[in-house]
Structure 1
Amino acid sequence: MPSPATERAIILHEYESCSADLTRQQAEVLQREKAVDVVPTAGGRWRITANSLVGTLDVAGVRLLIRPKIKPENLFLVLEPGLPPQAWGREPFEYDTTSNLLTSVVAFFARTIETTLARGVLRSYENRGESLISFRGRIDTAGQFRRAGVLVPMACTYDDFTVDIVENRVLRAAVRRALRVPGVAVTERGRLKRQLAALEGVSDVHVRPEAFDSIHLTRLNAHYAPALRLARLVLANLTLKDQAGATSASSFTVDMNDLFQRFVTQRLRSALRGRVEVLDEPLVHLGRDRRVPMSPDLVFCTARERIVYVGDVKYKLADNARGRSGDYYQLLAYTTALDLPEGVLIYCRGKGEEPERAVTVKNTGKRLIVWSVDLSGSVGQVEQEVAALAERICAGM
C-alpha cells in the first residue's frame, strides 16, 4: 500500500512544520534538496520543517509544495518586479488553486516571452571570425599568418547582424528547459513551442544563469528585461533530472530572502530615480586601512557619489514581530563605517506584525529606523508601501 506521501501533496508554508509518513529514502532525498529539514519523530513518522525556500519539489514519490506567507499574485510581483501591474493574469490564481509554483511559473514565463517576442525577435551585431573563400569585413592578420602562406580561404573577422545573440540564447535555453517540465498545460506548452520556433536561428547552447548578468540593458533591448529575468529564474532554480526506474524528478524553489531583497532594491531604484542613486551590496570597510570588508544591502548616493544613507533588507522579522538584535548590530556597523547619522532596516511585514519604528543608540545618537513593507495587499497597495519607504529614506538623508 503506498504511503500518504505518494497519494497526495504535502503542503507547507515557509518556516512551517508538519508530520508525514515517509520512507527513509524519501526523507534522505528531501533533506538533500535543502528546501526543508527532515527529522524522525515517534511512531516512525518524520517532521518536515520549511525554511526561506518556497516552491515545488516532486522527488522520490513525494510531492512537496511550500507556499510563501504573501498572497499568490504578490509572489509573482516579487518574482519579476519589472512587469507592470496589468501583467498579472491567470497564473497567480492558478497557483492559489493548485499550489504548484513550478507549473505556474512556467505558464507565467510562457506568456511573458510571448508578449516580448510579439514585438519581434531582437537582432544585433555580433563579431565573427571565419575562414572564407571570398573576403568579408577585415582580414584577421594573426589568423592569416598562422595559415603559413595559404591565401585561400582567408581568415576574416566581420560584424554579423543576427538573431544569434546572448539575449536570445538565454531565452531559448530557458524555453527548452521549461518544455521538459511535466504537468504543464497544453496551451502553455503550445505557447512555448511557438516561441521556440520564433527563436529559430539561435544556437542551442548550454547557458548558465549568470549569462544574464553580462547583458547590458539599453533602450534597444529594455523590452526584453522581464522575460530575461524570468529566464534567469528558470535556469537558476528549475531542476530536472532522470531517476532510476524511468521516473523523473523536478523542482522549482526560490529563496524569499533573495527575492525580497531584489524586489526592494529595484523598486527603490525606480522610485528614487533622479533624486539619489541606489547601489546594491557595494564593498565598504569597517576598519581603517581597508580592514574588515562588508557589503550593506543598499547605499544611497548623491550625484557626486557621496553616500548619504544606508539600508539593510531582511525578509523575516523575529518571532516577536520585532527587529532582531543581530540586524541592529549590523546596521550600526554600516552607519558607523560610513559616518552616517541614520540607517534603515527593511522587513517584509506579515499579518499582525508591526515592528518598532526606531532605535536611538546610546552614546552615539545614531538612529536605526525599522520599516516594514506589507506584501499582503493589492499590487497598488504594495506600490504605495514602497513609495512611502522611499519618502522616509529621503527624509532621513
Structure 2
Amino acid sequence: MPVLSEYSSIDLDLTRSQAEAIQRTGFVNLSPAPADRWRVTASSYVGTLVVDGVELLIRPKINPENLFLLLEPGLPPSAWRKEAFDYDVTSNLLPSVIAFFARTVETTLGRGVLRSYQAREESLTTLRGRLDVAGQFKRAGVLTPMACAYDDFSEDVIENRVLRAAIRLALRVPRVDPGERQRLMRQLVALEGVTEVAVRAETVDAIPVTRLNQHYAPALGLARVVLANLTLTDDRGSTSASSFMIDMNDLFQRFVTERLRRELRGRLDVIDEPTVHLGMGRQVAMQPDLVFREPGGAVRYVGDVKYKLATDAHGRSGDYYQLLAYTTAMNLPEGILIYCRRRDDIDESAVTVRNAGRKLVVRSLDLAGPPEQVAHEIAALADAIAKTPVSIP
C-alpha cells in the first residue's frame, strides 16, 4: 500500500470516483499528475486513510517514539516502546494505537475498577436509603413499591463508560492482533456492570482529574484519541475497513499545553484557549492557545502553539501579527510562539516590535530526538516562561 510522509506527495493510479472520494475526506489534497495519474499531497493529518478501496499510510516526520509521547503524555517512554517499534517497521499506525490502548486499559483496570457513589431514585419493594416523599405522594396511596432515594457505590461512572465505548469501537477494527482482541474482550468483562452508551470525544475533556481517578488519566486520554479519530466503514452490515487519522497540529497543541501545565503547577496557572477581546466594549473576540496567570492573580504571559515552522526558522508573518494582537489586547510586554523544530532550524529567536516595544519570542521543540530530550526542552521552556517580565518597560 502507498506510504508517504506529512506534507509530501505521491502519484497514484486512481479512478476519478476514487480521487473525488479521497478529496472529500479533507485529509489530503489531490491534483492531476502526468500519465493520467493523481498527485496525492498529505497535510498535517497522519495515520491510515481507507476510502473507496484505496488505503494510504501517512507517517509523521517526527521520531515514532515521540508520536506515542504526544498521544499520551502521562506515561513513561517504556510504556509504548513496543508499539513505537511495531509502527516504525509496518508504517501502519492503527494496529499500534489499538495495542497501546488495550495494554494501557489493562494496566489501569488491574489497579481496580473505579467506583464512586451515585445518586439513585427507584421504586423498590423494600425501603432502601430514604423515602422519596414527593415521589411517594404521587402514587395516590399505593404503599408498594416505594419511591426510594439512595446513594449507590457503583462502577457505572462516566470514566468507565468512556473506556467501555472506546473498547467497543476498537473491537470493530479489522486486522487487530488476536492477542490484543482477547485483551479488549477481557476488559469488557471487567466492565460488565457499566452502562453501554454513546460517548463523544469531548466528554473526556469535561471529566475533572482528581486524586481518586488520576490513575485513569492515561487510559482516558487514549480513549479520547480512539473516539475522536477512528472512523469505521461498514459494508453490508460488517466492518470492512477503518480510517484512523490524527491532526498533528491539534496533537502537538494538546501535548504542549498539558506538559507546560504540569511543569508550571504551583508557579503559574495554564489556561488553554480563553476568550480575550482586541477592541473596547468586548469587540473582536480572540482565543490564544495559552494564557499564563499567577495563581489566583493577574495574567502574566500569552502564547500560541504551531506545529509547522516556517522555512526560514523565524516563524510566519501571520503568526507574529496574531501574537502581537494578543499581547496588545492583554497589555503584556512579551508573548511566545511555540513551534515544532525541523532539521537545521534554530531553537530560539525574538522580534521586538517597532513603536510598541513588545517582544515576540519564538521557541521550538525538537521531536526528532529521544523522549528524554523532549522532556528536558519542555522543562527549560517552562522555566523561561515563569521568569518573564510582568509589565511594559
Q: Please, what TM-score do these two structures have when normalized by structure 2?
A: 0.95
In structure 1, stretches of 5+ residues that fail to align are 1-8
Q: How far apart are residue 42 of structure 1 and its match?
A: 3.3
Does 1:182 find its partner at 2:174? yes
Question: Quick one: distance in 1 between partners of 2:312 and 2:174?
Answer: 41
Question: Quick one: distance in 2 between partners of 1:356 and 1:134?
Answer: 70
Aligned match of 1:308: 300
The secondary structure found in structure 2 opposite 1:373 is strand
1:250-289, aligned counterparts within 5 Å?
A: 250-289=242-281
The secondary structure found in structure 2 opposite 1:102 is helix
**Aligned pair partner of 1:23 in 15, 19, 27:** 15
The secondary structure found in structure 2 opposite 1:43 is coil
Cα deviation digits, residues 19-75 of structure 1 (max 9, x gap): 100112221221122211122233221111111111111232211111111111100
Aligned match of 1:351: 343
Question: Quick one: distance in 1 between partners of 2:193 and 2:93?
Answer: 31
Residues 164 and 203 in structure 1, CA contact (< 8 A), matched pair in contact too: yes
Does 1:32 find its partner at 2:17? no
Does 1:10 find its partner at 2:2? yes
Cα deviation digits, residues 185-209 of structure 1 (max 9, x gap): 1221121111111112111221121
Does 1:231 find its partner at 2:223? yes
Aligned match of 1:95: 87
**Aligned pair partner of 2:381 in 368, 371, 389:** 389
Does 1:70 find its partner at 2:73? no
Cα deviation digits, residues 156-210 of structure 1 (max 9, x gap): 2211111111111110111111111111112211211111111121112211212
Question: Quick one: distance in 1 between partners of 2:157 and 2:290?
Answer: 32
Aligned match of 1:241: 233
In structure 2, stretches of 5+ residues that fail to align are none
Question: Quick one: distance in 2 between partners of 1:277 and 1:55?
Answer: 33
**Aligned pair partner of 2:108 in 116, 122, 131:** 116
* Residues 214/142 of structure 1: CA separation in 2 closer, same or farther (3 Å cut): farther
| Amino acid paired to 1:366 | R
Question: Quick one: distance in 1 between partners of 2:364 and 2:326?
Answer: 19
**Aligned pair partner of 1:173 in 157, 160, 165:** 165
**Aligned pair partner of 2:358 in 366, 369, 373:** 366
**Aligned pair partner of 2:42 in 27, 47, 50:** 50
Aligned-pair identity (%):
66
Does 1:107 find its partner at 2:107? no
Question: Quick one: distance in 2 between partners of 1:201 and 1:246?
Answer: 27
Cα deviation digits, residues 78-119 of structure 1 (max 9, x gap): 011111233223100101011111111000001101111111
Residues 174 and 241 in structure 2, CA contact (< 8 A), matched pair in contact too: no
RMSD in angstroms over aligned alpha carbons? 1.5
Does 1:221 find its partner at 2:205? no
Question: Quick one: distance in 1 between partners of 2:36 and 2:316?
Answer: 36
Alignment: residue pair count: 389
Residues 181 and 250 in structure 1, CA contact (< 8 A), matched pair in contact too: yes
Does 1:377 find its partner at 2:365? no
The secondary structure found in structure 1 opposite 2:196 is coil
Q: How far apart are residue 213 of structure 1 and its match?
A: 2.3
Aligned match of 1:193: 185
Q: Please, what TM-score do these two structures have when normalized by structure 1?
A: 0.94
| Amino acid paired to 2:160 | N
Q: How far apart are residue 342 of structure 1 and its match?
A: 0.5
Question: Quick one: distance in 2 between partners of 1:246 and 1:221?
Answer: 36
Q: How far apart are residue 149 of structure 1 and its match?
A: 2.9
Residues 59 and 248 in structure 1, CA contact (< 8 A), matched pair in contact too: no
Aligned match of 2:156: 164
| Amino acid paired to 1:336 | T
| Amino acid paired to 1:216 | P
Question: Quick one: distance in 1 between partners of 2:139 and 2:310?
Answer: 68
Question: Quick one: distance in 1 between partners of 2:36 and 2:294?
Answer: 60
| Amino acid paired to 2:181 | R
Q: How far apart are residue 244 of structure 1 and its match?
A: 5.4
The secondary structure found in structure 2 opposite 1:300 is strand
Bigger CA drift: 155-164 or 323-332? Answer: 155-164
Aligned match of 1:341: 333
* Residues 133/385 of structure 1: CA separation in 2 closer, same or farther (3 Å cut): same
Question: Quick one: distance in 2 between partners of 1:35 and 1:273?
Answer: 36
| Amino acid paired to 2:79 | A
Aligned match of 1:327: 319
* Residues 175/365 of structure 1: CA separation in 2 closer, same or farther (3 Å cut): same
Residues 281 and 298 in structure 1, CA contact (< 8 A), matched pair in contact too: yes
